[in-house]
Amino acid sequence: MSLGALAFLNPWLLGALATLPIIYWLLRTVPPRPRQVTFPPTRILVGLENQEKTPAKSPWWLTLIRLLAATFIILALAEPVLNPSREAALDGKGPVAILVDNGWASAAHWSERERMIDRVIAEAESHNRPVVVVPTASAAKSVTARIEAPAEARSTAGALEPQPFAPDRLAAVKALETALEG
């Protein structure tokens, strides 16, 4: 979810803002605890009437501060990001490494992964940077990776599909290191 240049990484947490009226009601109905001061010679004070009364409600300014604190906590948990497109920019130089988890568990959200891979390759292409696409679950015994131009990487990524076995992430990282060194 985004509001202009401001986006939230966890927008579902903004639903907690709907609980603010309940928090307000609780803060207004529960008075603050009275202060207790121990004073041993109470015999002198037995007949005196207390001039200060405990308020039935908390002061409006205290309630406002508490509501603002709750609001800021909820907003912080929603992780706001300013200019989210700038956050996704590829920093650095050299090849862009894309490690693709294509094990059996990734099949449920495969189309989302394909869209994300396409976005990263398009951004690498706009920055004139080569791309390395490394699958974590390869049908071959060993995982291979090579540095490619973005157009070739797009076809390599397009050929990937979820595999019916568990990914070997360690082998994928080693293949990536080998490709980046050579």
Tokens of 20: 């603010």
Is the confidence at residue 87, as pLDDT, over 60? Answer: no
Q: What is the pLDDT of residue 131?
A: 93
Whether the CB-CB separation of 62 and 97 falls below 8 Å is answered with: no
The mean pLDDT of 101-117, rounded to a whole number, is 90
Average pLDDT for residues 142-164, to the nearest whole number?
88
Backbone angles phi, psi at 161, to 5 degrees: -150, 160
Per-residue pLDDT band at 1 (split at 50, 70, 90): low
Domain 90-181: give its CATH architecture: 3-Layer(aba) Sandwich (3.40)
SS3 (DSSP) at 101: coil
Q: Is the pLDDT of residue 5 over 70?
A: yes
Q: pTM for the whole thing?
A: 0.52
Where are the chain's structural domains? 2-44+58-85, 90-181
Q: Given pLDDT bands bounded at 50, 70 and 90, which one contains residue 167?
A: confident
- Count of other CB atoms within 10 angstroms of residue 110: 13
Q: Answer whether 98's CB lies under 8 Å from 132's CB.
A: yes
- Write the pLDDT tens digit of every residue in 34-58: 777 676 666 666 666 767 776 667 7
Average pLDDT in the 160-165 region? 88
